[in-house]
């Protein structure tokens, strides 16, 4: 079951922090870096990040996967964090979390996400969910990130109708 996470709940924050360290260490290896910004987070910096977190919970109330979103500019929603515990990889949790975001924010014209270009599982997931690459840029020598956009077709059509 997916539900919004309270960052005031100590157990939830600890679970997110722990999952983040597991998942982002794997991504760091995949893209060829030693550290990624999420690995620098503390429990307190997670609490203060300003993002909205949703998690897939198992029957024991343990987090299997997390997606976080934030509105960085009008008309867009940025998927700022996406992580699935390796024990639950390739079971549809990432897709389920993204679909939850799309249904929770149906009026957003544009969804944005970035990931390491060499993070093939993430790239495959985002493409499967309708994201298209729009920009690739080198963050450090030999390490490239790709930004993906997904236009909300229903919202774009509605907006086009409003103009006429």
Banded model confidence at residue 157, pLDDT cuts 50, 70, 90? very low
Task: Give me the helices (H) in 60-152, please.
Answer: 93-104, 120-128
Query: Can you give the residue range of the structural domain that contains 43?
Result: 2-163
Span of 36-40, 46-50, 142-146 with lowest mean pLDDT: 36-40
Position with higher pLDDT, 142 vs 88: 88
CATH number of the structural domain spanning residue 41: 3.40.630.30
pTM to 2 decimals?
0.88
Q: How many domains does the chain have?
A: 1
Which contiguous run of DSSP H or E holds residue 46? helix 43-47
Q: What's the full length of the chain, in residues? A: 164
Residue 164 has pLDDT above 50, yes or no: no
Count the helix, strand and coil residues of the chain and give each as a percent rounded to the nearest 5: 40, 30, 30
């Amino acid at each position: 079951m997916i539900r919004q996470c309270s960052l005031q709940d100590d157990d939830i924050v600890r679970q997110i922090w722990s999952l983040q360290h597991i998942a982002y260490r794997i991504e760091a290896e995949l893209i060829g870096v030693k550290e990624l910004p999420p690995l620098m987070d503390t429990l307190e910096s997670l609490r203060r990040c300003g993002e909205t977190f949703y998690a897939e919970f198992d029957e024991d109330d343990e987090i299997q996967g997390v997606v976080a979103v934030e509105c960085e500019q009008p008309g867009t929603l940025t998927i700022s964090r996406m992580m699935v515990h390796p024990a639950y990889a390739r079971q549809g949790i990432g897709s389920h979390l993204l679909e939850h975001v799309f249904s929770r924010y149906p009026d957003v014209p544009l969804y944005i996400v970035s990931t390491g270009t060499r993070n093939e599982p993430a790239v495959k997931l985002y493409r499967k969910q309708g994201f298209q690459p729009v920009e690739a840029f080198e963050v450090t020598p030999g390490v490239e990130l790709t930004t993906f956009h997904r236009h909300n077709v229903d919202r774009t059509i509605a907006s086009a109708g409003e103009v006429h």
